[in-house]
Amino acid sequence: MTPREIAAQYGVHNQLRGGGWLHLKPGQVPVDIGNTVRRNLLQFRKTGNPEAPYSDHDAGNGAAMRTLPVALATFG
């Protein structure tokens, strides 16, 4: 939902809510890795190369970005 849609439906955003198209529980993080990450993981499995070729269909992946702090905190 956009900020305007959230305000129209809930007023002040003062608690974690679940729902959405993935029917998440309140506070649950997104469980879908997205097409960009999926495509690159498949490419890595096939070639062993961690870099996949550019695609016009690539987009950001919020789920992967939200795991970055955990990865950095536990790295090494």
Taking 70 as the threshold, does the pLDDT of residue 65 lie above it?
A: yes
The pLDDT assigned to 8 comes to 93
The pLDDT assigned to 61 comes to 67
User: Which of 28, 30, 29, 50 lies closest to 40, judged by CA?
Assistant: 50
- Rg of the chain over all Cα atoms, to the nearest angstrom: 17
Taking 80 as the threshold, does the pLDDT of residue 3 lie above it?
A: yes
Kindly report, residue by residue over 6-35, the tens digit of the pLDDT.
889 888 878 888 888 889 898 887 777 777
Measured torsion, CA atoms of residues 18, 36, 75, 27, in degrees rounded to the nearest 10: 0
The amino acid at 43: Q
Kindly report, residue by residue over 33-64, the tens digit of the pLDDT.
777 788 888 889 999 988 777 778 776 667 67
Conformational region of residue 52, where left means phi above 0, alpha means psi within -120 to 50, and beta covers everything else: beta
- DSSP conformational letter for 56: T
